[in-house]
């Protein structure tokens, strides 16, 4: 009986097999890492994103990998949107980013770029308001609206434009006569003058 029991435990271990939760062998993960970075180098964004997601399922603590996946998901949509902008088709660029967000709703970079494009959509209206402002008060109001409308968009040209616009407001204020002042100097008579 002791002999049968001594054979039972090794046989039970042998026939139980492996559980399905066994991690992938390191060689498979290493091969996937190599393919992932090869896809990145070859600008194959969709393929790299797919391989990156597989890697992330193997190591969910890897924040750097999660960031790379996010960038790869966004790259193809952002490059298509940039081509549309270069062709002067802002609405097509916005639609491209919206397609990307439908596919990857948690991708922060796609949301960020879409927000910037929506601000650019209203740029013409803001610039028209600035050009048509009839006085310094209206100019200040138009400038404040434009700065709020372009918040989050950094551009050296835009900053220079706002600085020059402020200087124009200051020049206008310096050359505009103050209210109640006239161009002629009128002497003030005192009560003692006859």
pTM of structure:
0.56
113 shares a domain with 93 = yes
Percent of the chain residues past pLDDT 90, beyond the cut:
18
Q: Where does the pLDDT of residue 83 fall: very low under 50, low under 70, confident under 90, or very high at 90 and above?
A: very high
Chosen domain end from 88, 121, 154:
121
Domain span including residue 66: 25-121
Tally of domains within the chain: 2
pLDDT in tens, 27-49: 777 787 788 778 777 877 777 77
109 shares a domain with 73 = yes
Percent of the chain residues past pLDDT 70, beyond the cut:
76
SS3 track for the chain = CHHHHHHHHHHHHHHHCCCCCCCCCHHHHHHHHHHHHHHHHCCCHHHHHHHHHHHHHHCCCCHHHHHHHHHHHHHHHHHHHHHHHHCCCHHHHHHHHHHHHHHCCCCHHHHHHHHHHHHHHCHHHHHHHHHCCCCHHHHHHHHHHHHHHCCCCCCHHHHHHHHHHHHHHHHHHHHCCCCCCCCCCCCCCCCCCC
pLDDT of residue 190: 36
Q: Is residue 181 part of a domain?
A: no
pLDDT of residue 11: 53
Q: Where does the pLDDT of residue 141 fall: very low under 50, low under 70, confident under 90, or very high at 90 and above?
A: very high
Q: Which of 25-34, 164-173, 180-189 is predicted most confidently?
A: 164-173
Between CA 108 and CA 106 the distance in angstroms is 6
23 vs 174, residue with greater confidence: 174
Between CA 50 and CA 100 the distance in angstroms is 15
pLDDT of residue 48: 77
177 vs 155, residue with greater confidence: 155
169 shares a domain with 141 = yes
Q: Which residues contact 58 (CB under 8 A, 6 or more apart)?
A: 23, 24, 29, 32
Does the pLDDT at position 14 exceed 80? Answer: no
Between CA 178 and CA 34 the distance in angstroms is 73
Q: Is residue 157 part of a domain?
A: yes
Radius of gyration of the chain (CA): 34
């Amino acid at each position: 009986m002791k002999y049968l029991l001594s054979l039972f435990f090794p046989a039970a271990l042998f026939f139980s097999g492996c559980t399905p939760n066994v991690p992938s062998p390191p060689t498979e993960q290493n091969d996937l890492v190599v393919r992932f970075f090869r896809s990145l180098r070859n600008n194959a964004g969709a393929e790299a994103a797919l391989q990156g997601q597989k890697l992330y399922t193997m190591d969910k603590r890897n924040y750097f990998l999660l960031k790379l996946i996010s960038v790869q998901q966004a790259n193809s949509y952002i490059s298509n949107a940039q081509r549309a902008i270069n062709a002067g088709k802002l609405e097509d660029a916005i639609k491209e980013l919206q397609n990307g967000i439908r596919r990857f709703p948690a991708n922060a970079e796609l949301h960020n770029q879409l927000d910037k494009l929506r601000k650019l959509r209203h740029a013409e209206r803001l610039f028209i308001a600035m050009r048509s402002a009839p006085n310094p008060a209206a100019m200040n109001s138009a400038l404040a609206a434009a700065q709020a409308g372009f918040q989050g968009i950094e551009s050296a040209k835009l900053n220079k434009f706002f600085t020059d616009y402020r200087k124009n407001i200051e020049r206008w204020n310096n050359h505009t006569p103050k209210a109640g002042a006239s161009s002629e100097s009128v002497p003030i008579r005192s009560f003692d003058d006859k």
